[in-house]
Amino acid sequence: MNSPPQTRFLMKILSAAQMRRIDKLTSNQAGISQLVLMENAGISLYYALKEKFSDLPGRCIGILCGKGNNGGDGIVLARQLAMRDIDHRVYLFGRKDEVSGEARVNLDAYLASGASLKEITAAASWVPESRELKHFDILVDALLGTGISKPLDGLYREVVESINSSRAFVLAVDIPSGMFSDSVEGGAPCVRANLTVTFTAPKIAHILNEDQEYIGELRVAPIGTPRQLLDTDEYLLRLLSAEFVERSLGSRRISSHKGDFGHVAIIAGSRGKSGAASLAGRAALRTGSGLVTVFCPEVVQPTIAGSRAELMTEGLASTAQGSLGLSAAGALLKALAERDAAGMGPGLTTHKETVRLVHRLVRESPVPLVLDADAVNAFAGQPEKLKNRHSHPMILTPHPGEFARLIGSSVAEVRRKNIELAKEFALKQRVWLVFKSFRTLIASPAGEVLVCPLGNPGMASAGVGDALTGIITSLLGMAYASKKPSVPEVTAAVCSAVYLHAFAGDLSSQQVGVESLNAGDLVEAIGEAYRRIHQS
């Protein structure tokens, strides 16, 4: 792998407070007024609609504005439409004299041009007006923006319900009204948008809120904020991109040999769960490892060996229940000394002897480790034992249930506070944490949190996590095949693996559908995912 690109140049994901601070700095330090930012935001909304509708001049547009800056953005859009004689109507939810600041400046300019608007101050006055929404081709939600802190009620809730009941195309300004900007939890009543145009950077909810279908297509529009205000390590939440992954993966020299791409171990499987070990091994092969050996209980070795001709296997002492026994530790540690990385956990079981084996391997492993499934469960409530005497990197890949057991919390809590808890855990334990969810997070021991924007519901299927273990182990082995990589290089390898895995899952879903997608489909799509990433 080449030296990785700097993660600091990836697109930032901001909280509402961070965005407000950046807007203020844009004015105070760069001399770009809030009025200019609002003008640029409104103009970007016009061009987003123009790009979406080639016949925009023939469309009828309803713009629903609140009294704050979000409504001000909508008023700028209305002025742009009025300048071009495009049919539109503005609804202001409040009185004109309640609008202040930059929004008031734009409202006055709009009215001075001879335009008019309809003031709505109560739910009763909205009822007859709401019937008119059926006449609009496009509705623009410029009601509330990112500043709300409680669920909608009263007039605004009725307006949102009216928007969602219409057949119009819905453009949300900055964020669908009703959605909390910093929340990852869904369920709040909010506008269902076809397109959301946000400004400067995506917000947390745009990427991580469970109600992604309410956001629709997301576009991030620059409105004049200087790049250097974003390029600071203070903002540690970043969005992965194909370009970053392509640069991280690099290309292979024509004179390469298999030793250049790592010899990795997969420690996995038990009676009845040989498929997990096979999937992890096959994924490591398909990702490009030079050599892959699956270490498994001797009772399942024939099954795993027969699953793929290129896959090497070694059967080891097992318990009466068919899981790896503690007596296999010596042979495993000796074998690992000749490998570049190891993945451990798929299908292992939590038999007490197997758990003791996992603890010893974590403590004494001579190579970096990827811990998944039962290798993570082996440390439930004991994360302080995740220490390697050689200080080799450790990557944990829990889903919410496994992470909750690991830190002694609830699934609801780790879902609600996933960013905070992942970052805290990675920093404290000095590990990489891959928090598997519909948007997978990668928290590094350097304190940054990266988000994979890909993935689909079809990946909620048996074996998909085992495939991820194989992919991460493979890229980690490649990173260690010729040198000891730096922390940023390990981070790049882990991020690339997560992105490749999710991309392969998305490609698979396009072929077989989300309902029919299984882990084997994903593994077979890794090659196509590689090809497309290199073409990006």
C-alpha to C-alpha distance for 317 and 322, rounded to whole angstroms: 9
Instruction: Give the CATH number, domain containing residue 353.
Output: 3.40.1190.20
* 140 and 277 part of one domain: no
**Residue where a domain stops, chosen among 201, 235, 269:** 235
C-alpha to C-alpha distance for 6 and 512, rounded to whole angstroms: 36
Quick one: pLDDT band at residue 428, thresholds 50, 70, 90? very high
* 173 and 253 part of one domain: no
* 483 and 498 part of one domain: yes
In the predicted model, is pLDDT for residue 1 greater than 50? no
pLDDT > 90: percent of the chain:
93
- Total domains in the chain come to 2
Taking CA atoms, 31 is separated from 14, 25, 199, in Å, by 22, 9, 18
**φ and ψ at residue 237, rounded to 5 degrees:** -95, 120
- C-beta atoms surrounding 162 within 10 Å: 18
Q: Is residue 126 part of a domain?
A: yes
Q: Is residue 14 part of a domain?
A: no
* 271 and 192 part of one domain: no
Residue identified by tokens 């998305």 is 506
Q: Is residue 499 part of a domain?
A: yes
CA atoms within 13 A of residue 483's CA, in its CB half-sphere: 8
pLDDT digits 0-9 by tens, 213-265: 999 999 999 999 998 898 877 888 999 999 999 999 988 888 888 888 999 99
* 258 and 133 part of one domain: no
Cα angle 224, 219, 66; round to 5: 75
* 231 and 306 part of one domain: no
Which of these, 247, 271, 170, 151, lies nearest to 215 by C-alpha position? 170
* 230 and 249 part of one domain: no
C-alpha to C-alpha distance for 234 and 448, rounded to whole angstroms: 10
What value does the mean pLDDT of the chain take? 95
Cα angle 183, 235, 369; round to 5: 85
Written as six digits, the tokens of 56 are 């925009």
Q: Is residue 524 part of a domain?
A: no
CA atoms within 13 A of residue 533's CA, in its CB half-sphere: 29
Instruction: Give the CATH number, domain containing residue 105.
Output: 3.40.50.10260
- C-beta atoms surrounding 445 within 10 Å: 19
* 186 and 309 part of one domain: no
Beta strands in 404-458, from DSSP E residues, in sequence order: 432-435, 441-443, 449-451
**Residue where a domain stops, chosen among 210, 235, 260:** 235
Residue span of the structural domain in which 198 resides: 23-235
* 216 and 267 part of one domain: no
* 362 and 226 part of one domain: no
* Cβ proximity of 288 and 500 under 8 Å: no
What's the full length of the chain, in residues?
536
**φ and ψ at residue 471, rounded to 5 degrees:** -70, -45
* 157 and 278 part of one domain: no
Beta strands in 411-536, from DSSP E residues, in sequence order: 432-435, 441-443, 449-451
Residue identified by tokens 């077979």 is 524
pLDDT score recorded for residue 253: 87
* 329 and 436 part of one domain: yes
pLDDT digits 0-9 by tens, 3-60: 556 776 689 999 999 999 999 999 999 999 999 999 999 999 999 999 999 999 999 9
